[in-house]
Chains A and B, each alone.
Chain A
Amino acid sequence: AQKITQTQPGMFVQEKEAVTLDCTYDTSDPSYGLFWYKQPSSGEMIFLIYQGSYDQQNATEGRYSLNFQKARKSANLVISASQLGDSAMYFCAMREPYNTDKLIFGTGTRLQVFP
């Protein structure tokens, strides 16, 4: 069965510093997609970044980059130059590729950025 694991319940980072949020996954499918979503205290789910299993390069979106290590089955999110507004819950998710497209989510990491 497919599974997403986020082992860091909470992380702290100082403003302007970089932070890495860990995510490991387990699947036997050769084709899959990995996502990161941000959930601020207001509750909405905001899509941040996507990595396909066949993508040769790590995905980047502005200050967000995904450190994809396929052999280790890890897809860590790196946030550079942290801002106070980055304080939120961050969820890693994996898409089941065939037939459904539903996302399976990890338990999340609460990131707090301090001045």
Chain B
Amino acid sequence: DSGVTQTPKHLITATGQRVTLRCSPRSGDLSVYWYQQSLDQGLQFLIQYYNGEERAKGNILERFSAQQFPDLHSELNLSSLELGDSALYFCASSGDVGGTEGTGELFFGEGSRLTVL
């Protein structure tokens, strides 16, 4: 158990709809990262938050948005869903930015599998 909790684990919805994925990081971790893994693909970095502030942005579509709340949990909002948005969405967390703690390893949740029909 990585200590990172993601809900829901599975989600099936229709094109054009909006969904929210939720992530609770490990206790004490300030950084939250969101990744997208499409079928048989590697992990694509979407966005990172650190202590409530956006820290880095990757290939995140304008239809997608995220935020990190004061209690450090994060939500990824996906709107106007398309078939191609079907993927496994991972949340990961880590300690201080800059690799000052340990190896800078990311701890991953089990993922939220989104299916858009």
Contacts and interface: CB of A to CB of B under 8 A. Distances in A.
Interface in A77-106: 91, 95, 97-106
Interface in A101-115: 101-108
A4 to B, nearest CB: 8
B70 interface: no
Given A33-B99, A50-B103, A44 B41 contact: no
Contacts of A52: 103
Contacts, number: 67
**Chain B interface size range:** 20 to 34
B103 A108 contact: no
Contacts of B110: 43-44
Contacts of B97: 99-101
Nearest to A35: B105
Interface residues of A, number: 23
26 contacts: A33-B103, A37-B108, A43-B110, A43-B111, A44-B2, A44-B108, A44-B110, A44-B111, A50-B103, A50-B105, A52-B103, A91-B42, A99-B55, A99-B97, A100-B55, A101-B31, A101-B94, A101-B99, A101-B104, A101-B106, A103-B43, A104-B45, A105-B35, A105-B45, A106-B42, A107-B42
Interface of A: 33, 35, 37, 43-45, 47, 50, 52, 91, 95, 97-108
